[in-house]
Amino acid sequence: MSSAVIWDVYESPIGLLTLIAGDGGLRGLWFPGKTPVPPESARRPLPAVTEQLEAYFQGELRAFEVDLDMRGPALDREVWRRLLDIPYGRTESYGELAARADPELFPGGIEPWERARIVGAANGRNPVSIIVPCHRVIGADGSLTGYGGGLHRKQALLELEGSGRPDPAWKTRQTSLL
């Protein structure tokens, strides 16, 4: 199996997104400064991804159909898989997400109430944000907590999906988010 990596940049309403794909599918969707950029010689269009992102940001797409090649420890992969189960326009707390994860994957001796923090850390390592919707995970009290792209972007994504504090003018505020 080849380990060829290609990449491109997508200019979204919430800022530039670096897309990285391998033979197995999309490996990364990163906000500026969050990952090293591969060599310019590996830059190629990723139309299957960018077309879906465009439709998502226009409010026309609710579920992505993108091959993913996400790599990480078993617990991280379990959390990322569970993120895909959170419907568009809905949110879930870290504790709720932890309760849905396979308990056998957590380290021994961890109390159930401690799993939310472990899940939060795995959520934060999600390499394919937006498509694997880590922005849909919030604090138990409904607060917006932790997002690699910044809480302002998390808020914008939730508003786009109608699960945050609704603000129909979110698209006109996009440049102020950066």
Which residue is listed with tokens 């504090």?
165
31 and 104 in one domain? Answer: no
Tokens 């694997």 correspond to 132
Which one of 134, 156, 157, 158 is the catalytic residue? 134
Q: Tens of pLDDT along 138-154?
A: 999 999 998 989 999 99
- The pLDDT tens digits for 84-139 are 999 999 999 999 999 999 999 999 998 888 999 999 999 999 999 999 999 999 99
Q: For residue 51, is it within any domain?
A: yes
- Do the domain assignments include residue 178? no
Q: Note if 134 is an active site residue.
A: yes
Domains of the chain: total:
2
Does some domain include residue 64?
A: no
pTM: 0.87
Residues of the domain holding 163: 74-168
Task: Output Rg (C-alpha) for the chain, integer angstroms.
Answer: 16
Residue 91 domain-assigned?
A: yes
- Is 58 exposed, middle or buried, given 0-12, 13-18 or 19+ CB atoms closer than 10 A? exposed
- Tokens for 153, please give them: 């972007």
